């Protein structure tokens, strides 16, 4: 019985309902699940090829991440080294003024910035006893005045006239040695600082732009290849009734997957690379303590997002072309 | 006929459902394909090729037609035009009375999905999928639920003699087996027309003969219209009608016995 199926029965099955003479129906929009299956199966079977695409994306993103994170690490290390330099000079100045630091009591007023924090650490390391408690009964050798916006690169010397009456009256023992680290910056210094900052920002933007462009070109190339080498498969699927939207969806899903996987592995790889290279140059401890890890994690997330966005945009155009291709042309192409 | 009888079903097939899905739609019209004055010019930077120069043909429902002719005569071009795989430079193709030039991309997808099944010289199976999945894919595109599609695909693969290989990947199969799978896939949505371009071109003579017999059998059993471009003279014995094409024109059209064909014995 099964060799000759009976003529059409009055069944409710839609495949026979729609097949009326001269009637062209609409292809149903397939659930995303089918596109997903086609993609995952494709990736599994073409594992080698998928890995090549993935590696291209990951390397591009690793390059981008290492450039961006490298800048953050460099800034952190540089700041730390500057702060230490300043602190060492300050300690030398203090020692010139007050003699050996061992056992000396120092009172601090105001909030020390990062550089001054280093100074305090060095002073403690040299044997000084540092306290910000003015009520401390023991006599102090000197009072250190911190705060304000000025750079702390210069020790301005004994009691200068540049602090407020309130601060002086807060000093329990007037006339004592007061070292002012609160030197306001001069106009020229502020201008130079702004200029340096501007140039630094321009350089960062330039390097970031170049890195982004290199990465984008690499990813576009990888995605373009992975779509064009499958024109034949696309042509076949169109012969079987795949709509353009389905083809596009397959490639967008695939680009997303590759973008996420390549982005995560690439970002981690890039971070590792820049941390290791700076770690070798300046010491792992230096990198660990001086880097702004919050910024680094933001950059990690940012590069993963960039990876997905770049991969998807790179795949959209060739997928669009593939989806609109006449099947005969798609089938002819033999890449 | 019983050589292709359905073996004991290992897949719990719902035979009644499958039979209904495979049922030949009872259409009013006898003409299933009509092509009028088809021309196709391929333009490249250096020159133009007139692959077809005004070919017309009419195919009745249930016919087995062989398009024959020398290499480069325009068989594959005609196959692509009739199959809505490319656009003619001029002329019209009607499938079931519908002028396919009027259809948009999605309507063409619908047409390719349900009205036409394609068979290629190079099989064109999706190598990322098993035979079963290859046959199920057109049904998925048609919106059939996957259980029904699996039943029908397994049934079709058994019909073409590939029941024992349904979970194999095409790369694990011989050329003849791959072409059987492609034939099952072409029949997935019970099309009115099966179009084949050199279906035996990559097969040895005996396997080619099996393929031609299988197509003839399916045409007979399922009432499907078969249009096959071919070089293969074995097709002469099976085809109801031969279209002989030369230099982009159909120069002979008739029953195999009535035609004086070059090279035919
Ligand atoms: N995409 C194309 N671009 C340019 N010329 C083409 C293209 N496709 C076919 N042709 C040319 O059109 C003519 C007809 O080609 P077609 O493929 O239809 O021949 P055929 O009869 O199928 O030949 P064969 O038996 O060798 O397969 C040939 O001269 C061929 O070179
Ligand atoms: Mg050909």
Chain B interface includes A324 (CB < 8 A)? yes
Domain boundaries along the sequence of chain A: 30-76+190-332, 88-186
Instruction: Compute the distance between CA of residue B42 and CA of residue B51 in angstroms, rounded to an integer.
Output: 7
Nearest CB partner across the interface for A15, out of B6, B85, B190: B190
Q: Which residues in chain A are closer than 8 Å to B2, comparing Cβ atoms?
A: 3
> Digits of tens for pLDDT over chain B (265 positions)?
344 444 444 445 555 655 555 555 555 568 999 999 999 999 988 999 999 999 999 999 999 999 999 999 999 999 999 999 999 999 999 999 999 999 998 899 999 999 999 999 999 999 888 999 999 999 999 989 889 999 999 999 999 999 999 999 999 999 999 999 999 999 999 999 999 999 998 899 999 999 999 999 889 988 999 999 998 888 888 899 999 999 999 999 988 877 766 554 4
Neighbours of ion ligand 2 (CB under 5 A): B 76
Q: What is the ipTM of this complex?
A: 0.84
Q: Which residues in chain B are closer than 8 Å to A233, comparing Cβ atoms?
A: 126
Instruction: Compute the distance between CA of residue B207 and CA of residue B213 in angstroms, rounded to an integer.
Output: 10
Ligand 1 atom closest to B248 (CA): 14
Beta strands in B145-234 (DSSP E): 193-197, 225-230
Q: Locate tokens 């062989």: which residue?
A: B66
Instruction: Compute the distance between CA of residue B252 and CA of residue B152 in angstroms, rounded to an integer.
Output: 39
A158 by DSSP, 3-state: which? coil
What letter would DSSP give residue B59? Answer: E
B197 bridge partner residues = B229
Ligand 1 centroid, distance to B263 Cα (angstroms): 21
Chain B interface includes A16 (CB < 8 A)? yes
For B222, the closest chain A residue by CA position comes to A4
> Cα torsion for A93, A94, A96, A99, to the nearest 10°?
-160
Ligand nearest to the CA of B197: 2
3-state percent breakdown (helix, strand, coil) of chain A, nearest 5: 65, 5, 30
Ligand 1 centroid, distance to B74 Cα (angstroms): 6
Which residues lie closer than 8 Å to A97 by C-beta, 6 or more apart?
A: A142, A158, A177, A179
Measured from the CB, is residue B86 less than 6 Å from ligand 1?
A: no
Q: Locate tokens 């690379």: which residue?
A: A273
- Which residues, numbered 122 to 181 in chain B, qualify as contacts with chain A under a Cβ-Cβ cut-off of 8 Å? 124-129, 133, 137-138, 140-144, 155, 159, 169
| Residue A233 Cα, gap to closest chain B Cα (Å) | 7
Indicate the CATH number for domain A88-186: 3.30.379
Between residues A201 and A103, which one has the greater pLDDT? A201
Give the model confidence (pLDDT) of A251-285 as tens digits. Answer: 899 999 999 999 999 999 999 999 999 999 998 98
User: Ligand 1, residues B44, B74, B82, B250: which to mutate, most atoms within 8 A of Cβ?
Assistant: B74
Which residues lie closer than 8 Å to A79 by C-beta, 6 or more apart?
A: A114, A290
Ligand 1 atom closest to A328 (CA): 1
């Amino acid at each position: 019985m099964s060799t000759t199926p009976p003529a059409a029965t009055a069944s409710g099955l839609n495949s026979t309902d729609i097949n009326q003479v001269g009637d062209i129906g609409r292809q149903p929009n397939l659930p995303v699940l089918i596109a997903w299956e086609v993609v995952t199966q494709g990736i599994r079977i073409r594992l080698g090829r998928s890995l090549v695409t993935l590696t291209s994306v990951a390397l591009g993103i690793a390059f981008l991440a290492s450039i961006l994170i490298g800048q953050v690490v460099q800034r952190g290390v540089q700041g730390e080294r500057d702060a230490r330099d300043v602190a060492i000079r300050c300690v030398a100045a203090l020692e010139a003024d007050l003699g050996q630091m061992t056992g000396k009591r120092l009172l601090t007023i105001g909030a020390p910035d990062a550089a001054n924090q280093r100074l305090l650490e060095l002073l403690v390391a040299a044997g000084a006893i540092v306290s910000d408690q003015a009520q401390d009964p023991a006599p102090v050798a000197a009072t250190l005045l911190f705060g304000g916006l000025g750079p702390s690169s210069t020790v301005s010397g004994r009691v200068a006239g540049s602090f407020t009456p309130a601060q002086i009256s807060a000093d329990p023992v007037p006339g004592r040695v007061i070292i002012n680290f609160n030197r306001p910056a001069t106009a020229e210094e502020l201008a130079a600082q702004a200029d340096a900052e501007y140039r630094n920002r321009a350089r960062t933007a330039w390097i970031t732009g170049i890195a982004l462009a290199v990465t984008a070109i690499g990813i576009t190339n990888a995605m373009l290849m992975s779509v064009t080498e499958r024109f034949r498969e696309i042509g076949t699927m169109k012969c079987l009734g795949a709509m353009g939207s389905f083809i596009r969806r397959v490639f967008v899903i695939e680009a997303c997957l590759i973008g996420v996987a390549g982005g995560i592995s690439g970002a981690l790889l890039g971070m590792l690379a820049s941390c290791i290279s700076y770690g070798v140059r300046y010491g792992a401890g230096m990198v660990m303590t001086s880097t702004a890890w919050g910024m680094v994690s933001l950059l990690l997330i940012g590069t993963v997002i960039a990876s997905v966005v770049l991969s998807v945009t790179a795949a959209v155009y060739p997928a669009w072309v593939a989806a609109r291709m006449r099947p005969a042309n798609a089938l002819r192409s033999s890449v | 006929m019983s050589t292709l009888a359905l073996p004991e079903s290992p897949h719990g097939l719902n035979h009644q459902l499958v039979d209904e899905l495979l049922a030949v739609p009872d259409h009013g019209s006898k003409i299933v394909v009509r092509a009028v004055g088809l021309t196709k010019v391929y333009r490249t930077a250096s020159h133009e090729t007139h692959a077809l120069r005004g070919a017309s043909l009419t195919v009745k429902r249930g016919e087995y037609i062989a398009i024959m002719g020398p290499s480069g005569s325009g068989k594959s071009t005609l196959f692509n035009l009739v199959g809505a795989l490319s656009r003619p430079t001029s002329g019209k193709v009607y499938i079931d009375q519908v002028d396919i030039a009027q259809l948009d991309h999605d309507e063409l997808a619908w047409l390719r999905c349900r009205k036409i099944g394609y068979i290629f010289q190079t099989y064109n199976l999706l190598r990322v999928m098993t035979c079963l999945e290859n046959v199920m894919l057109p049904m998925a595109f048609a919106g059939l639920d996957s259980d029904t599609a699996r039943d029908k695909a397994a049934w079709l693969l058994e019909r073409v003699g590939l029941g024992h290989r349904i979970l194999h990947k095409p790369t694990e199969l011989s050329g003849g087996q791959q072409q059987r799978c492609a034939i099952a896939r072409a029949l997935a949505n019970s099309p009115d027309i099966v179009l084949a371009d050199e279906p035996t071109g990559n097969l040895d003579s005996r396997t080619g003969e099996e393929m031609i017999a299988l197509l003839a059998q399916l045409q007979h059993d399922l009432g499907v219209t078969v249009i096959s471009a071919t070089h293969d003279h074995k097709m002469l014995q099976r085809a109801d009608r031969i279209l002989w094409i030369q230099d982009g024109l159909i120069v002979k059209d008739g029953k195999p016995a009535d035609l004086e064909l070059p090279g035919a014995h």
